[in-house]
Amino acid sequence: MAFRFRQPSVLPGFGLTMGFTLFYMALLVLIPLGGMVLFTTRMSFDDFWSSAVTDPRVVAAYKVSFGASMIGASINAVFGFILAWVLVRYEFPGRRIVDSIVDLPFALPTAVSGIALTTLYAHTGWIGRWFDMVGIKVAYAWPGIVIALTLIGLPFVVRTLQPAMEDLEVELEEASASLGASRWQTFRRVILPTVLPALLTGFALAFARAVGEFGSVYFIAGNMPYRTEIAPLLILIRLEQFDYLGATAIGVVMLVVSFVMLLIINVLQWWSRRFQA
């Protein structure tokens, strides 16, 4: 009888590593978020509903935060795709510099990016003055918020797409062209289905990052209630007013909506992978 021995793993066994994983996740994520949800149980449902769901100022802040985040993530999905394609498929002078600039929003403090964007897009700024001449207000308005959220979300889309595009074989495109497919048909039937899961992941990461953004938006938004006030700022205002329950209730609503959005995108990713298989 031949005995088969399991090859020893470099890391400890499943039980130990899984236990450490759950402990680490609970300590950093589950306990803080669970504590926030538990803290809101001190409020009655009517108080929670009136202060965090139906209050007109809070609803307006939700629309600004989630609406601008969705627009910014959608813009990044398009132009981030193009940027990742250029970086992967073409060699040109300064390619490494451009590739490094993509990561700049990761390292740059968000307050610095907010000040820089406000300086550029204010009505007296280098770029904002040209928009002001045609009656378009960028800083202290919705367009400025979208620009700020697009800036901080771009690296998530590009860095998620690059590995998928590097694994995409050029021979598939050549075979598609040799069979008479147009460029649009090749993109729609060969390229897009292959990178779609990575694109959805990058979109989800950019959206989640934008929803919680504070520093860059704080300076360029103008923070006008019912118009350019974001939900994270409203949470800070409630905390400064010692309304801890109200601030926590807003945070719980944002947590639930963000979780639902990420869950939907993960389901779409699973469906796209199953469809490809």
Is the pLDDT score of 4 beyond 80?
no
Query: Which ranges of the chain would DSSP assign to H, the alpha helix?
Result: 14-25, 31-39, 45-52, 56-89, 95-102, 104-107, 110-121, 128-133, 142-167, 170-178, 183-186, 192-211, 215-221, 231-240, 244-276
Is the pLDDT score of 1 beyond 60?
no
Is the pLDDT score of 13 beyond 80?
no
Instruction: Tell me the pLDDT tens digit for each residue of 206-241.
Output: 998 899 888 889 889 888 889 999 999 999 999 999
**Residue 227 belongs to domain spanning:** 31-276
Q: What is the mean pLDDT of residues 97-111?
A: 89
- Number of domains comprising the chain: 1
The answer to whether residue 9 sits within a structural domain is no
The answer to whether residue 256 sits within a structural domain is yes
2: confidence class by pLDDT, cuts 50, 70, 90? low
Encoded tokens for 215: 């520093």
The answer to whether residue 67 sits within a structural domain is yes
Q: DSSP string spanning 82-145? A: HHHHHHHH---TTHHHHHHHHTHHHHS-HHHHHHHHHHHHSTTSTTHHHHHHTT---TTSHHHH
Q: Tell me, what's the pLDDT at 275?
A: 60
The answer to whether residue 22 sits within a structural domain is no
The answer to whether residue 13 sits within a structural domain is no
CA-based nearest residue to 148, from 84, 81, 239, 64: 64
74 contact partners, CB below 8 Å, separation of at least 6: 203
Residue 201, domain CATH: 1.10.3720.10
The answer to whether residue 263 sits within a structural domain is yes
Q: Tell me, what's the pLDDT at 11?
A: 66
- Whole-prediction pTM: 0.86
The answer to whether residue 6 sits within a structural domain is no
The pLDDT > 70 percentage for the chain reads 94
Ramachandran class of 94: left when φ > 0, alpha when ψ lies in -120 to 50, beta otherwise? left
The answer to whether residue 10 sits within a structural domain is no
Encoded tokens for 24: 């680490």
